[in-house]
Chains A and B, each alone.
Chain A
Amino acid sequence: MAFAPFHARRSQSRSTVPKVLMRGNHVVAEAAVRAGCRFYFGYPITPQNEIPEYMSERLSKIEGGVFIQAESEIASIHMVIGASMAGGRVMTSSSGPGISLKQEGISFLSGLELPAVIVNMSRGGPGLGNIAPAQSDYFQATRGGGHGDYRTIVLAPNSGQELADLTFEAFDLADKYRTPVVILGDGMLGQMMEPVEFRPEIPIKKLPHKDWALTGAKGRPSRFIRSLILDPGEEEEHNWKLMRKYEKIAREELRWEAFAADDAKMLVVAFGTAARIAKGAVKRVREQGLKVGLIRPISLWPFPFKALRDFSKKVKHFIVFEMNMGQMVEDVRLALEGGGEVHFYGRPGGIVPTPLEVSRVITSQYYQKRLG
Chain B
Amino acid sequence: MFIKTIFSGFGGQGVIMMGYLLATAGMYEQKNVTCLPSYGAEVRGGTANCTVVISTEEIASPVASEPDFAVLMNNPALLFYQNQVQSGGTLFLNSSMIDSRPVRGDIEIYEIPVNDLVKPLGEERVGNMVMLGAFIKKSALVSLDTMHRVLKDTFTNRNPAMVKLNRQALLVGYDFLGP
Contact = CB atoms under 8 A, between A and B. Distances in A.
Interface of A: 1, 3, 6-7, 10, 15-17, 19, 21, 23, 46-47, 131, 187-188, 191-195, 276-277, 279-281, 283, 352, 354-355
A19 to B, nearest CB: 6
Contacts of A16: 28, 149, 153
B107 interface: no
Contacts of B65: 354
Contact of B27 (A1, A10, A17, A281): A17
Nearest to B149: A16
Contact of A3 (B20, B32, B34): B20
Interface size class of B (residues with CB under 8 A): 20 to 34
Contacts of B40: 131
Interface in B12-45: 16, 20, 23-24, 27-28, 32-37, 39-41
Interface stretch (B56-64, B67-75, B95-103, B126-134): B56-64
A192 B61 CA distance: 10
A131 B39 contact: yes
B154 A191 contact: no
Contacts of B153: 10, 15-16
A231 to B, nearest CB: 50
A121 B60 CA distance: 19
B37 A276 contact: no
B158 interface: yes
Contacts of A355: 60-61
A47 B63 CA distance: 16
Instruction: In the A-B complex, list the 10 residue pairs whose CB atoms are closest, starting with the nearest.
Output: A280-B60, A193-B35, A195-B27, A355-B60, A21-B24, A192-B36, A192-B62, A277-B61, A352-B63, A276-B60
Nearest to B27: A195
A21 B61 contact: no
A193 B36 contact: yes
A191 B39 contact: yes
Nearest to A9: B157
Nearest to A284: B60
Contacts of B35: 21, 192-194
Interface in B103-160: 149, 153-154, 157-158
Interface of B: 16, 20, 23-24, 27-28, 32-37, 39-41, 58-63, 65, 149, 153-154, 157-158
Given A6-B158, A280-B58, 20 more contacts: A1-B37, A3-B20, A3-B154, A17-B27, A21-B20, A21-B35, A46-B39, A131-B41, A191-B36, A192-B35, A193-B20, A193-B36, A195-B33, A276-B59, A277-B61, A279-B60, A283-B60, A352-B63, A354-B65, A355-B60
10 contacts: A21-B27, A131-B40, A191-B39, A193-B36, A193-B37, A195-B27, A195-B32, A279-B60, A352-B61, A354-B63
B23 A46 contact: no
Contacts of B63: 352, 354
Contact of B37 (A191, A279, A354): A191
Contacts of A193: 20, 23, 34-37
A57 B59 CA distance: 31
Contacts of B24: 21
B104 to A, nearest CB: 22
Nearest to A7: B154
B157 A6 contact: yes
Given A10-B157, A21-B24, A188-B62, A194 B41 contact: no
Nearest to A193: B35
A221 to B, nearest CB: 51
Given A19-B27, A21-B35, A191-B39, A280 B61 contact: yes
Contacts of A194: 33-35
B30 to A, nearest CB: 9
B117 to A, nearest CB: 24
A365 to B, nearest CB: 19
